[in-house]
Chain A
Amino acid sequence: MARPPLPDEQRDILNPSALQARLREVPGVAATAPLVGGQVMLGFSGAWEPVTLNGVVPTRQARMVQFAQNFQSGTVDDLERNPHGIVLGTILAERLRVGVGDRVVARALDGTPVSLRVVALYRSMVYDVDSGTAWANLARTQAVLGLGGAVNAVQVRTVDFNRADEVAAVIERAVGLDAESWMEANQNTLGLLTMFGAIMYVVTAFTMTVAGFGIAGNLVMTVSEKTFDIGVLKAMGMPAARISAVFLVLAFLMMSIGLGIGLTASYFLVEAIGRIPTAIRPQPGMLVISETLPVLRSWSMYAVSAVFALVVSVAAGLSPALRAARLEPLGIIRNAAG
């Protein structure tokens, strides 16, 4: 899904339906919806808050992004049915001390005040959205912002979420308007998340490497301990490759047992961590709001660990295994006898 650009530069789209018809022709586009966005002051009994007011067609918006699921104490239909309705982010509502049913005043800079009735609250768990965004019907928002029949953005949902940037580039060429993908819109946040994700991966990879060193140390010792056995096996005609295989299998077995213990323990740990309450109030600068520590419960997590562990075990076993293969059977047996 391509997120709408922030409506800072008001190059209004005067004929949104024609533009949407053209956008739906673009390959990779699944759906479109018009958006009127602007900054307004929202007032309720003496308290005023600056708010990003989004004018949408509620039922079409529900097809663009996760919209309906975020509604609380009201539904998308309530907004659609009530032309004067407005939906507020939960933190915003708390700040203004507004509840469903209250009438609030929306006022654009130098605009006339427009009265709206709160029909639902919106909770996305993204701090900036829940503390500074409101939704109203398209026509009403156009009136608040003094836009007439124009909109200032068209939202596009792409077929493939991860290829939004490519589709955005195609759209820019096709219609000559600025198109911003969700990756571009959130690149600062994504950059930081990627960076810290990478750091975490490096740290955990190091842990696994340390475990690999443990295996390697152990195998080196086993090889020197079993020198005599190796000599006998070789004298009996066992090829070097199979001697190596014995020690690689040993490394593999060690890691498999460790892996089993580790995966079981981590399953329970993830469940336990996921139950720890965050004990942090929502506050500016926060990315997402969560009541418990957020954990990802996905099989791919375990799979990545398992694959990495097995790779490490083979790498750790390689050097001792090759050394075992190089041992000279005659020398060993002669020495042992003497």
Chain B
Amino acid sequence: MSPRFAFFVAGRYLRTRVRSTVPILLGVGVGVFVMTVMQSMMFGFQGQALEILLTVTPSIVVKGRERGVEQDEGRVYAAREGTLVHQTRLKPVEAEKGIRNYRVLEERLRGIPGIEAVASVVQGRALLRYGTRERGVSLFGVAARDYDRVIEFNSKVIGSVEDLVRRRDGIILGFLLAEELGLAAGSRVRLAGAEGRALDLRVVALFQSGFTVLDRTAAFVNLPAGQTLLGYPGAATGMAVKVSRHDQAPLLARRVEWATGLESQSWQEANSNIFAALRQQNTTTFATVWMTILVAGFGIANGLVTAVLEKRRDIGILRAMGLTARGISAVFVIEGALIGLAGTGIGLFLASWAIDVMARTPLPGRGGLSTASTFVMLRTPLVFLSAAGVALLVSLVASLFPALRAARYDPVEIIRTAK
């Protein structure tokens, strides 16, 4: 039997049952629609957040030994039945204060092949006051030009990092923090760090990365100001490193550890937690979305089972005319595939429209991973193709069972018992 004949019969069957096929077709369409839109939204948000994260966090962070944690092994916190249990009580000692020879170390790291840029950082937590308002901030003391070579610093600053270089008492604040405090470039703020050390600083620019946590808590000052505030005179707490090939960061982090004896963490290791969170989010959402397509598949299977029963006589006659069992199967598989194909077309069309609408829809408030103000929608062909692929696969699988059943009919039996 020619494939053309199978198509012909399948097409005829569909045309005689338009009324009952339309709902099934719409079902597939809705399934494809939901899956496409959800994929576009999830991957849109996540992709944007990761992209921002990649530009504003160093490929490798070298950590200096922190103060006061030298004997920390003796203090154990154990999660026991959900409670933190304080097991031993050793008095921690004041340990070495950060990386003292950071300039030497910078040069040594720059000599490692694959490392593009290095910047020393003094990092800690501080209290910021503007007028009567106070907030805790994550303080980064940096040499602004060096730091700009490590992350995309200047391009994320409203203003210029040169302003920070020019003013020894300058500070750059995350724009969400500035919004909450009601301040702008030019405002004077007071910062307090360790041991009651405090400095008056002037806001020279705002930092807008799009990554919510940073934009809400980050404050950048010059290295000396950071050293004073956080109590690391003449020392750094760590170094930020940029590598030329991003995927080599974990390897180079080990290399740096070996060369310096300091604990180093690659971008991948530092953000493994975010990756885990995103994976979990994806699993739950896709489980829900797949259900929709699965239900649409049940609709197809249901329709075809009835069709096979209805066309028992036709099948008998077709078999008697010489159509093989496989040919009969082909007719119903083609029928399922045609429904799947048409439904997919409808679904993709609706989805591309909905994705455009959502990309223009404002989000209520800022609070996600990124500070996006509208839905972030991913519009690559893969988003559409994968949904189409899944839908077609499901419709083929759904038509398989009825098709095989039709193939098992005994033509002699059917024709003999026919009315």
Contact = CB atoms under 8 A, between A and B. Distances in A.
B364 A191 contact: yes
B296 A210 contact: yes
Interface string A272-296: 0100001111011100000101000
B44 interface: no
Contact of A9 (B77, B133, B310, B366): B133
B213 interface: yes
Interface in A206-255: 206-207, 209-211, 213-214, 216-218, 220-222, 224-225
Contact of A203 (B38, B129, B212, B364): B38
A187 B66 CA distance: 38
Interface in B284-298: 284, 288-289, 291-292, 295-296, 298
B86 A100 contact: yes
A216 B23 contact: yes
B127 A43 contact: no
Contacts of A187: 365
Contacts of B383: none
Number of contact residues on A: which range applies? 35 or more
A45 B92 contact: yes
B280 A8 contact: no
A225 B312 CA distance: 13
Given A189-B365, A214-B295, A283-B273, A48 B310 contact: no
Interface stretch (A19-27, A76-84, A105-113, A173-181): A105-113
Interface stretch (B25-33, B149-157, B162-170, B253-261): B25-33
B193 interface: yes
A121 B132 CA distance: 29
Nearest to A282: B273
A280 B86 contact: no
A207 B83 contact: no
Interface in A86-119: 90, 93-94, 97, 99-101, 107, 109-110, 113
Interface string A287-319: 000010100000000000000000000001000
A214 B298 contact: yes
Contact of A200 (B23, B125, B288): B288
A220 B25 CA distance: 14
Given A218-B302, A285-B212, A107 B196 contact: yes
Given A206-B34, A213-B26, A284-B217, A97 B72 contact: yes
Interface of B: 17, 19-24, 26-27, 30-31, 33-34, 38, 41, 66-69, 72, 75, 77, 82-86, 89, 91-92, 94, 124-127, 129, 132-137, 181, 190, 192-196, 198, 212-213, 217, 231, 273-274, 276-277, 280, 284, 288-289, 291-292, 295-296, 298-299, 302-303, 306-307, 310, 363-369
Question: What 4 pairs across the A-B complex have the smallest Cβ distances?
Answer: A50-B136, A99-B86, A191-B364, A188-B365
